[in-house]
């Protein structure tokens, strides 16, 4: 960010916070939407119109309000149970069950799943369509809660958390990559990658730099202003991976990340995930393709909502220098 722009930002930020404090002192509340109105935005940006753009201002306001919200939450919410010890286990599930209650019937998607995953493991989840792979990954990714059973994420028991706590843990610890990319279609690559940082209240000056950095890492430094429909499928998935990486999460979860790509582009995405793994991340990836699973180090095979097998791949044996014992029976 240029110095002039940085100075403008500092001053505008000061004005916004001063205004919020003044009004709070009079027991009045100003909402984020008020600051995004033309009138107040004009007032706050007065004198900096040529230096600071309206969209930068909007991001700044969003960032400030997320910071305030976060602080308020920290004051009011009971602290999340802190991890115990310095165990190498990052994911541990015990007797996980998931029942979807439908009108006419209930679907038992997971029927008692237990396993643990250590730091920097590279795991794939396979199984027939409907066997529960996405259900499991969504629970691991704190996008959904189990009906029963326990889930410890980095030692924190997350199975009893409410949606807001889950969202906070997800933002802090997990990057999620979907088969259909799930990008905001009207937003640039840069903005898409910045989103998790906006949600966790990272100041906008840092956000931009972190998003650039993540896009550079996935080889898209030249495409930061492109919107999803101006990118190829592989490039879109790279943006999604950059978005997953931008918070430096320990765990990357990917649900068929190459499912919508041709095989060459898919291979490039797998190479990228390999690199992410080599850099220290733990990866859990759902896939239908045996050759994709072979690239990982361990395959958990689901059948009708339970674990059928849980084995090291050839690569996993090589890495661990272990003979292949089905982990279910260890």
Ligand X SMILES: Nc1ncnc2c1ncn2[C@@H]1O[C@H](COP(=O)(O)OP(=O)(O)OP(=O)(O)O)[C@@H](O)[C@H]1O
Which partner from the list Mg ion, ligand X, none does 280 bind, CB cut-off 5 to 8 Å by kind?
Answer: none
Q: What residues between 161 and 200 interact with Mg ion by CB under 5 A?
A: none
Six-digit token string for 208: 């931009």
Stretches 129-137, 153-161, 191-199, 242-250: which one binds ligand X (CB under 6 A)?
Answer: 129-137
C-alpha span between 236 and 171 (Å, rounded): 21
x/- site string to ligand X, residues 98 to 127, per CB under 6 A? --x-x----x-x-----------------x
Q: Which residue has the tokens 């998607």?
A: 109
Contact 30, 23 (CB under 8 A): yes
x/- site string to ligand X, residues 3 to 42, per CB under 6 A? ----------------------------------------
DSSP per-residue codes, 18-29: HHHHHHHHTT--
Six-digit token string for 65: 């309000």
Nearer to ligand X by C-beta: 130 or 160? 130
Where do the H-state alpha helices sit in the chain?
3-25, 32-36, 38-44, 54-76, 133-140, 163-173, 189-199, 204-217, 233-245, 263-278, 290-295, 314-320
Q: How far is the CB of 134 from Mg ion (least distance, A)?
A: 3
Residue 134 within binding range of Mg ion, rule CB under 5 A: yes
User: In angstroms, what CA-CA distances link 135 with 93, 147, 245?
Assistant: 13, 11, 22
Which partner from the list ligand X, Mg ion, none does 129 bind, CB cut-off 5 to 8 Å by kind?
Answer: ligand X
Residue 253 within binding range of ligand X, rule CB under 6 A: no
Residue 62 within binding range of ligand X, rule CB under 6 A: no
Q: What residues between 132 and 151 interact with ligand X by CB under 6 A?
A: 132-135
Question: What is residue 84's DSSP assignment?
Answer: P
Q: How far is the CB of 288 from Mg ion (least distance, A)?
A: 9
What residue ranges bind Mg ion (CB under 5 A)?
134
């Amino acid at each position: 960010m240029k110095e002039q722009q940085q100075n403008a930002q500092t001053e505008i930020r000061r004005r916004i916070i001063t205004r919020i404090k003044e009004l709070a002192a009079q027991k009045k509340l100003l909402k984020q939407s008020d600051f995004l109105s033309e009138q107040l935005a004009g007032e706050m940006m007065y004198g900096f119109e040529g230096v600071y753009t309206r969209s930068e201002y909007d991001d700044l306001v969003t960032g400030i309000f997320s910071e305030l919200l976060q602080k308020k939450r920290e004051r009011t919410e009971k602290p999340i149970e802190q991890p115990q010890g310095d165990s190498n286990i990052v994911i541990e599930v015990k007797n996980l069950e998931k029942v979807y209650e439908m009108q006419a019937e209930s679907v038992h998607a997971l029927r008692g799943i237990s396993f643990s995953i250590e730091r920097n493991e590279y795991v794939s989840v396979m199984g027939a369509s409907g066997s529960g792979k996405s259900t499991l990954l969504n629970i691991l990714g704190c996008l959904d809660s189990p009906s029963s059973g326990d889930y410890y994420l980095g030692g924190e028991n997350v199975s009893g958390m409410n949606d807001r706590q889950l969202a906070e843990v997800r933002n802090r610890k997990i990057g999620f990559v979907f088969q259909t990319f799930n990008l905001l279609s009207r937003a640039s690559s840069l903005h898409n990658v910045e989103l998790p940082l906006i949600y966790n209240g990272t100041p906008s000056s840092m956000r931009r730099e972190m998003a650039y950095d993540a896009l550079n890492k996935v080889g898209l430094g030249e495409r930061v202003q492109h919107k999803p429909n101006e990118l190829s499928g592989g490039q879109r998935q790279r943006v999604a991976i950059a978005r997953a990486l931008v918070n430096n999460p320990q765990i990357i979860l990917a649900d068929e990340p190459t499912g919508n790509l041709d095989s060459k582009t898919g291979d490039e995405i797998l190479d990228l995930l390999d690199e992410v793994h080599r850099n220290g991340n733990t990866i859990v990836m759902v896939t239908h393709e045996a050759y994709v699973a072979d690239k990982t180090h361990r395959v958990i095979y689901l059948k009708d909502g339970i674990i059928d097998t849980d084995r090291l791949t050839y690569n996993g044996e090589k890495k661990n220098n272990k003979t292949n014992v089905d982990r279910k029976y260890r």
